[in-house]
Amino acid sequence: MNTLVRNLRVLRRMTVAQVVQQSIYRGSWIIFMAANVCVPIISLLIWRTAIANGAQLPIDERFVTTYFVLLSFVTMATSSWLTGFLANDIRLGKLSSWMVRPASLLLGFVANNLSEKFLKLFALVPMIGVLWWIFRDSMDIPAGPRRWAVFAVSLVLGAILVFTIDILIASLAFWMDDVSALAQARLIIASVLSGAVVPLALMPDWSRGFIDNQPFRFTVSFPVEVVAGNLSGQDLLVGLGLQAAYVVVFGTIARVVWASGIRAYSAVGA
């Protein structure tokens, strides 16, 4: 218990320090978030126009509207930008300065991720609030707290899943000179398979078995589907179970790869 309390205090202080450091670039945060919102807005308008012109889709206008209004928030809440920075620290030997500190390396990674989300919220939430107000009559909003509680749990699990995948890819820098191409490939694949570009409900029927069960669905699409879709209670339980299972699997792999990399790590001062 004492160790847990200590780690939470350290995490809080490190997060505050990260927020102060990153808040220097407030203008760039706002511009970056505005750009992130523009893509879902454009997609929303395109799909609403297609439906209005008679396009036969397996989803209706209310699902499309709810999906894309929530998409920016869910993408931000589950995002992680750790791979590039961590891989660069490993490659240049900067990881050595972290290894001699009394706090866990993981706490530093988590603090960086939390501070990023904290700052993004200030710019993103007002933008999404405006969208919500404009399209409020065309959205499906669940009544009661149960569905929102499931949404919150799926959001947390999705964020952990993305975070562990980021650490896993960055850990490969212990053996590879450059993982940027691998990280970029993962970003492109994840953009499609997570539903960040096109709702997974629009994928062809022959791909449903793969699409519904692959891990990237549970980083973005599934949390949005909890609110926007008509998932039954059983679908929600199965989805949360698969999401938690992927967190355990990727978390275990990332831990093993990271531990192996630390043992093999060699740099000035290490």
Other C-beta atoms closer than 10 Å to the C-beta of 169 total: 23
Do the beta carbons of residue 240 and residue 223 sit within 8 Å? no
Whether pLDDT at 215 is above 80? yes
Whether pLDDT at 106 is above 80? no
Alpha carbons 34 and 47: distance in angstroms, whole number:
20
Q: What's the pTM?
A: 0.87
Nearest Cα to Cα of residue 119 among 25, 39, 36: 25
Whether pLDDT at 8 is above 70? yes
What's the pLDDT score for residue 100?
A: 66
**In the chain, where are the structural domains located?**
2-264
Do the beta carbons of residue 250 and residue 221 sit within 8 Å? no
For residue 265, give every residue at least 6 positions away whose Cβ sits within 8 Å of its Cβ, in sequence order, or none: 90, 95, 174
How does residue 101 score in pLDDT terms, banded at 50, 70 and 90? low
SS3 content of the chain, % helix, strand, coil (to 5): 80, 0, 20
For residue range 17-76, list pLDDT tens digits in order. 777 776 666 666 677 667 777 788 888 888 888 888 877 888 888 888 889 988 888 988
| Dihedral sign for Cα atoms in the order 23, 25, 31, 32 | negative
What's the pLDDT score for residue 140?
A: 77
Whether pLDDT at 270 is above 50? no
For residue range 118-155, list pLDDT tens digits in order. 877 777 778 788 888 888 888 877 767 888 899 999 99
End-to-end CA distance of the chain: 31
What's the whole-number mean pLDDT along residues 85-102?
A: 74
Residue 27 burial class via C-beta count within 10 angstroms: exposed 0-12, middle 13-18, buried 19 and up: exposed
Question: Which stretch, 8-12, 60-64, 255-259, has highest mean pLDDT?
Answer: 255-259
Whether pLDDT at 267 is above 60? no
